[in-house]
Structure 1
Amino acid sequence: MNNVLNELYQTVLARKDSHTEGSYTCYLFEQGLDKILKKCGEECSEVIIAAKNGKNEETVLEISDLLYHLTVLMVQSGIRLEDVETELGKRSAKTGNLKQFHQVDKNS
């Protein structure tokens, strides 16, 4: 899967400055961060609904859409795929350890 994510990242990266007519990826970059974030939120909600409904085939499609939009967000924000891989590697070293979750003051 790593190769597929890398290929996706490289494709999105190439589209950032290409201004290819009819490209949805180029459209997202032209619309800017707010549009990209909106799409990430929409796709996240669609993943939740599909998973709640127990429709694995639909859930896979929605997860794929979410990963695509997150990749666009990464490229827009200058976040490299390697940065995420490094963080995931750090987290995998903690597997099996009970984590203390950060408490958020919901009144602020």
Structure 2
Amino acid sequence: MTDTDLIAELWDVIVDRRLHPVEESYVNSLLSHRKGIDKPLEKVGEEATEFILAVKNGESGRIAEEAADLLFHMLVALNAADVDLSLVLDELASRRRSR
């Protein structure tokens, strides 16, 4: 499985959980929280802070863990905001081509 396949698979799971909720699903707990989109956004902020601190403190093992947490929560927040991952990937691609 390639890196892009892994991200696409994760995105597909997030989309599927939104369309077909599973009661015990962490993704569903974020997407259906009483705080609405604020809950996944809070998690993005929390994970971003933890990532920054891990990098600042040179904790190499934690950096990868926190980066994974941040990426995951960003994907959930994108879905909660009704923004498809393809739009983000297209934007990244357009930036790469223009430089």
Structure 2 gap segments, 5+ residues each: none
The residue aligned with 2:48 is 44
TM-score, L = length of structure 1: 0.83
CA shift for structure 1 position 39:
0.4
Query: Structure 1 CA distance, aligned partners of 2:97 and 2:21?
Result: 41
Identity of aligned residues (%): 34
Query: Structure 1 CA distance, aligned partners of 2:83 and 2:37?
Result: 14
SS at match of 1:39: helix
CA shift for structure 1 position 77:
1.3
Letter in 1 for 2:11: Y
The residue aligned with 1:26 is 28
The alignment of Structure 1 onto Structure 2 pairs a total of residues equal to 95
TM-score, L = length of structure 2: 0.90
Greater per-residue helix proportion: 2
The residue aligned with 1:80 is 84
1:68 aligns with 2:72: yes
Equivalent of residue 89 in structure 1, options 84, 90, 93: 93
Give RMSD over aligned pairs: 1.0
Structure 1 gap segments, 5+ residues each: 96-108
Letter in 2 for 1:40: V
Q: Which has the larger radius of gyration?
A: 1
